[in-house]
Amino acid sequence: MAVLKEPAISKGIMYFNKNNRFRWEYTGENPFVFVQNGDKYFTKMNGKVTEIKDNSARLFQEISKLVISSINGDILENTKKFKTDFFENNNSVMVNLTPTQKSMQNFISKIQLFFSKNSFLVTKIEIFEGGDDTTTIQFENVKVNQTLPQDIFELK
């Protein structure tokens, strides 16, 4: 059941390093930061940094794995968790991923990845959740192979 008439739009910045380092920062009215640094997970909200160690860490870990594997393309090789279908047009390739495991089907019905045919980079991720809820992650101003300061993956 959709509650909002207009989609909620959040903007932010995402950083990714192939060594299991990931930072997703929402900017705007309610800033929020999620950081994965190796096998440790942190959030920062209202100026407070929290290390996630309880069962909710598993949820953050799965979300982080999902986004990271979508960015680096590893998700396409995960045939145990997803049925994969490919579609293309003149500008992009769309990969439709349908979860095969019941545990994932409970909260995600499908994921669509859009790749640019020019750059071969992910330009958009759409996650279709239960009901009519959809999360869209649009990548803009993408910079690749940049040196990132390591402290960007630390919250203080």
Among the listed residues 111, 32, 22, the one whose alpha carbon sits nearest the alpha carbon of residue 72: 22
DSSP three-state, residue 32? strand
Tokens for 140?
A: 């803009």
Question: How is the beta sheet containing 32-37 ordered, strand by strand?
Answer: 11-17, 21-27, 32-37, 40-45, 48-52
Report the distance separating Cα 22 and Cα 155, nearest Å.
Answer: 12
pLDDT score recorded for residue 1: 45
* pTM, two decimal places: 0.72
CATH 3.40.50.300 is right for the domain spanning 73-145 = no
Tokens for 44?
A: 């920062």
pLDDT score recorded for residue 48: 92
pLDDT score recorded for residue 59: 61
Residues of the chain with pLDDT under 50: 1
Report the distance separating Cα 93 and Cα 120, nearest Å.
Answer: 9
pLDDT score recorded for residue 126: 85
Q: How far is CA 55 from CA 50, 59, 60, 99, 104, in A?
A: 14, 7, 9, 22, 16
Q: ∠ CA(22), CA(110), CA(1), 5° rounding?
A: 105
pLDDT score recorded for residue 142: 81
Domain ranges in the chain are 10-72, 73-145
